[in-house]
Amino acid sequence: MLAHKSFRLGEFKLSSGGTSDYYIDCRTTTLDAEGSRLTGEVFCDEIRKRGWKPKATGGLTMGADPIVVAVSVVSGDLHGFLVRKAEKQHGTGQRIEGFREKGARVVIVDDVCTTGASTVQAIEAAREFGFEVVGAMCLVEREEAKGRPNVEKAVDPAPFVSVFTARDVRAAHVSRMDDTAPVIFAVAASCEVCGRPAVTNAPRNRCAAHKN
């Protein structure tokens, strides 16, 4: 679903200030009805597999928001909290919203990790509040801009886990494009394998028997 809904090829400026020939907007997947359920399931499965046994998941608004909600709904027992980018200037003035049990084991979640800045901010805010951070997870790791080492340094001694890499999503996107590309029919051509009349020339001249 990420490959279909969230991945785009082109020229894009990233929030980190850099540029890229692709862009991944995970929210078009994590805010999709089915995508939300799948997101919750994959995060819950990984959390259980790792044996972290947290009481809550949370992360920096707003990339983490739909993931936190999906995990809470799918798990039925993991609470959620959101980390503001800055303390609000009214009301209680708190930066952590939602679950607020000091000393509780928590997992920090994020949608995309490029430089890792948003994940690092959430880790630091969670620890400053008094949570015990037992792990950090992102849905897609771009594998660039020193994102992984930045997050690993911040979350240490807890581990950092990515569900997918950008390479995974890109490969699935390209494969899907190939599968859905229209067939281009050959005109007055012969199959390059057997010499019979060709029915396609995408990618080479092939007859019906050899087009796959």
pLDDT digits (tens, 9 = 90+) for 187-202: 345 666 777 666 666 5
> Is the separation of the CB atoms in 98 and 91 below 8 Å?
no
For the chain, what is the domain count?
2
Is the domain of 28 the same as that of 116?
A: yes
Is the domain of 136 the same as that of 73?
A: yes
Residue with tokens 């799948």: 38
Range of the domain at 171: 2-178
Is the domain of 188 the same as that of 106?
A: no
Per-residue burial over 36-67, b if 16 or more Cβ lie within 10 Å, else e, is bebbbebbbebbeebebebbbbbbbeebbbbb
Per residue in 2-51, pLDDT tens?
988 998 888 887 766 778 888 899 999 999 999 999 999 999 999 999 99
> Is the separation of the CB atoms in 163 and 41 below 8 Å?
no
Q: Is omega for the bond preceding 62 within 30 degrees of 0, making it cis?
A: yes
Is the domain of 204 the same as that of 144?
A: no
Q: What one-letter code names the amino acid at 168? A: D
Which residue has better confidence, 126 or 87?
126
Is the domain of 162 the same as that of 203?
A: no
Residue with tokens 């046994």: 53
Is the domain of 108 the same as that of 212?
A: no
pLDDT at residue 84, rounded to an integer? 94
DSSP assignment letter at 140 = E
DSSP assignment letter at 200 = B
How many degrees, rounded to 5, is the angle at CA 13 between CA 11 and CA 87?
155
Cα(53)–Cα(84) distance, integer angstroms: 24
Q: Supply the pTM of this predicted model.
A: 0.80
Give the Cβ contact number of residue 18 at 10 Å.
12
pLDDT of 181 over the 60 cut: no
Cα(85)–Cα(95) distance, integer angstroms: 8
For 80, 100, 164, the CA distances from 91, given in Å and listed in that order, are 20, 16, 38
